[in-house]
């Protein structure tokens, strides 16, 4: 989909991608026909926009990574204090990852748009963690690549390990950031 689409075609593609996320999250083996039905479009419309099921899944992953990138930039990680930015980024990531769990859970195709997006997101995360270290939130000797892995794991647990029916991303973000920065050990001065 290199050239710009008309507004109605863009709406159609967006409806297909949103339906694909819902349908494939419920049934990863769902057919293009099931996705078309859920999107409220003809099967031929899906095939006209996406040459194959894999092309649809690749487009779904690229779209979700773009949304994740935008959610991170919306948190203004370069211009807000690192603690505020870390909380905002985490809450925004939890919102997007919760809504696009199927698409964001797919392995990135080497050389594809989603893989490049994931690489950029990883670099942005390291930049934010470096700011947090420079502002004294993290130990000066902290291995930032390890901290990033722990941060990602905490986000994963927040998404999949919480049994509340509708967990608030802001509450979960506070838990993730607090655990990342302070761990689970006793705090000085705690009784």
With a cut of 90, say whether residue 188 has pLDDT above it.
no
CATH number belonging to the domain at 61-182, selected among 1.10.357, 3.30.43, 3.40.50, 1.10.150: 1.10.357
| Structure confidence by residue, pLDDT tens digits, 32-43 | 999 999 999 999
Confidence (pTM): 0.83
DSSP letter, residue 168 = -
Q: How far is CA 114 from CA 24, 62, 141, in A?
A: 18, 5, 32
What pLDDT, on the 0 to 100 scale, is given for residue 125?
Answer: 95
Kindly indicate the confidence band of residue 4, based on its pLDDT and cuts at 50, 70 and 90.
low
The alpha-helical segments, DSSP class H, found in 75-168 are: 82-99, 101-104, 113-134, 144-160
Domain ranges (residues) in the chain: 1-50, 61-182
Assess whether pLDDT exceeds 90 at residue 186. no
Token pair in block for residue 120:
């950029």
pLDDT band at 115 (very low <50, low <70, confident <90, very high): confident
CATH topology of domain 1-50: Arc Repressor Mutant, subunit A (1.10.10)
Between the alpha carbon of residue 8 and those of residues 23, 65, 93, 118, the distances in Å are 22, 23, 29, 29
């Amino acid at each position: 989909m290199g050239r710009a689409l008309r507004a109605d075609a863009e709406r159609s593609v967006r409806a297909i991608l949103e339906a694909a996320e819902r349908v494939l999250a419920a049934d990863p083996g769902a057919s293009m026909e099931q996705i078309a039905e859920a999107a409220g479009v003809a099967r031929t419309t899906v095939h006209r926009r996406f040459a194959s099921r894999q092309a649809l899944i690749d487009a779904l992953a690229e779209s979700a990574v773009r949304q994740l990138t935008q959610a991170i930039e919306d948190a203004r990680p370069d211009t807000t204090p690192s603690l505020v930015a870390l909380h905002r980024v985490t809450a925004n990531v939890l919102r997007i990852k919760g809504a696009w769990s199927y698409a964001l859970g797919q392995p990135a195709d080497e050389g594809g748009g989603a893989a490049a997006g994931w690489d950029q997101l990883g670099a942005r995360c390291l930049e934010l963690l470096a700011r947090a270290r420079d502002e004294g939130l993290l130990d000066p000797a902290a291995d930032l690549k390890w901290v990033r892995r722990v941060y990602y794991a905490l986000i994963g647990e927040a998404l999949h390990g919480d049994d509340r029916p509708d967990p608030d991303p802001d509450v979960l973000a506070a838990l993730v950031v607090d655990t990342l920065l302070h761990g689970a050990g006793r705090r000085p001065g705690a009784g």
